[in-house]
């Protein structure tokens, strides 16, 4: 009996570190990182961050980063998604990257697909389709591995299949914006995408065939950026005021009619950081990234700091 009691005590005292709760806030520093996108990395049990300044994908653990993906075709990296052993990252150029030039600004735009284990390229797909400005922003992936990429500069939604073939899935007058249009996107297992228009906060439902309908909301998601469709069917959406009269907030929406309408069931505002952009779900909970983008996009300076804050 004494042996059993001692053995149980050893087990109990040996496991607290593994059971320790995840921190509510992770702060880090990495030279001129300015992350915009975030995703959970199930292989390394950490987060992946993109970089408007470097155009890379970084692995972050305990506030430190190392580069996993670096491709010279990507000037700035935005939304990132992990699925089926691949990293999907939207890239563009708003003129703030280290590699930005007059020849690439609002011209270099596409989707990079990389092997999750090695960071090696599988496809780098040019999405500067048609005339005008281009800068891909966010990406969602369906169960078959097809990617759906928003372009708020071109007011378009692209579809890229597993073999890297790109088509325009939808162009719609309701996407058109003089500033920042279609932004965050998620894929719903019902066979459609949900995408938010940044400047007005409108939410759109886009089917596999490219049919577009606007979701009737109880309050618009002005400044709508990254989103996450949760396992319970609710939608978490991050808003900010970087380029629209929005508010730094995280809202949770629900729909009971197949996303013809949706209502806000929970909202945290103001958010704990001034410039939240995107959200990622992990086994430790959902985290929102703030990459201090305001200093970069306004041209007032550069920053090394970033914050990942847990959604309560």
Q: DSSP per residue over 54-109, as a string?
A: T-EEEEEETTEEEEEEE-TT-SEEEEEEEETTEEEEEEE--S-STT--TTTTTT--
**Which domains can be identified in the chain, with CATH numbers?**
26-310 (2.120.10.30)
Q: Average pLDDT by consecutive 10-residue portion of the chain (312 residues)?
A: 39 44 92 97 97 98 92 98 97 97 98 98 97 97 97 96 97 94 98 98 97 98 98 98 96 98 98 98 96 94 96 88
Q: Give residue for tokens 């297992």.
A: 189
Query: What is the per-residue pLDDT for 4?
Result: 39
Strand-pairing partners, residue 125, are 111
Q: Are the CB atoms for 94 and 52 separated by under 8 Å?
A: yes
Q: Are the CB atoms for 161 and 151 separated by under 8 Å?
A: no
Rounded alpha-carbon distances, angstroms, from residue 175 to 68, 206, 217, 233, 255: 33, 12, 17, 25, 22
**257-278: burial string, b at 16+ Cβ within 10 Å, e else:** eebeebeeeeebeebbbebbbb
The dihedrals phi and psi of 86, each to the nearest 5 degrees, come to: -125, 155
Query: What is the per-residue pLDDT for 20?
Result: 61
Give Cα 161 distance to the centre of its chain: 19
pTM score, whole prediction: 0.93
Strand-pairing partners, residue 69, are 57
Put residue 153 in one of left, alpha, beta given phi > 0 → left and psi -120 to 50 → alpha.
alpha
Query: What is the per-residue pLDDT for 61?
Result: 83
């Amino acid at each position: 009996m004494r042996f059993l009691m001692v053995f149980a005590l050893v087990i109990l005292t040996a496991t607290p570190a593994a059971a320790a709760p995840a921190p509510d806030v992770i702060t880090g520093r990495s030279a001129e990182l300015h992350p915009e996108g975030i995703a959970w990395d199930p292989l390394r049990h950490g987060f992946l961050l993109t970089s408007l300044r470097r155009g890379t994908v970084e692995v972050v653990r305990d506030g430190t980063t190392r580069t996993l993906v670096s491709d010279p075709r990507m000037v700035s990296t935005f939304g990132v998604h992990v699925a089926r052993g691949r990293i999907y990252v939207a890239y563009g150029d708003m003129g703030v990257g280290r590699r930005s030039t007059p020849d690439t600004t609002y011209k270099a735009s596409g989707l990079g697909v990389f092997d999750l284990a090695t960071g090696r390229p599988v496809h780098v797909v040019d999405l500067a389709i048609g005339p005008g400005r281009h800068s891909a922003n966010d990406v969602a992936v369906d169960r078959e591995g097809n990617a759906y990429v928003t372009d708020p500069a071109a007011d378009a939604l692209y579809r890229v299949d597993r073999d890297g073939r790109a088509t325009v899935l939808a162009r719609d007058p309701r996407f058109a914006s003089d500033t920042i249009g279609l932004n965050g996107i998620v894929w719903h297992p019902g066979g459609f995408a949900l995408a938010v228009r940044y400047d007005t906060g409108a939410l759109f439902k886009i089917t596999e065939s490219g049919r577009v309908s606007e979701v009737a909301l109880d309050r618009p998601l002005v400044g709508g950026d990254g989103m996450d469709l949760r396992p319970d069917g609710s939608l978490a959406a991050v808003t900010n005021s970087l380029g629209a009269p929005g508010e730094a907030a995280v809202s949770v929406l629900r729909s009971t009619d197949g996303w013809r309408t949706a209502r806000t069931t929970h909202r945290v505002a103001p958010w704990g950081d001034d410039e939240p952009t995107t959200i990622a779900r992990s086994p430790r909970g959902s985290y929102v990234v703030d990459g201090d983008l305001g200093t970069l996009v306004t041209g007032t300076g550069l920053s090394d700091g970033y914050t990942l804050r847990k959604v309560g």
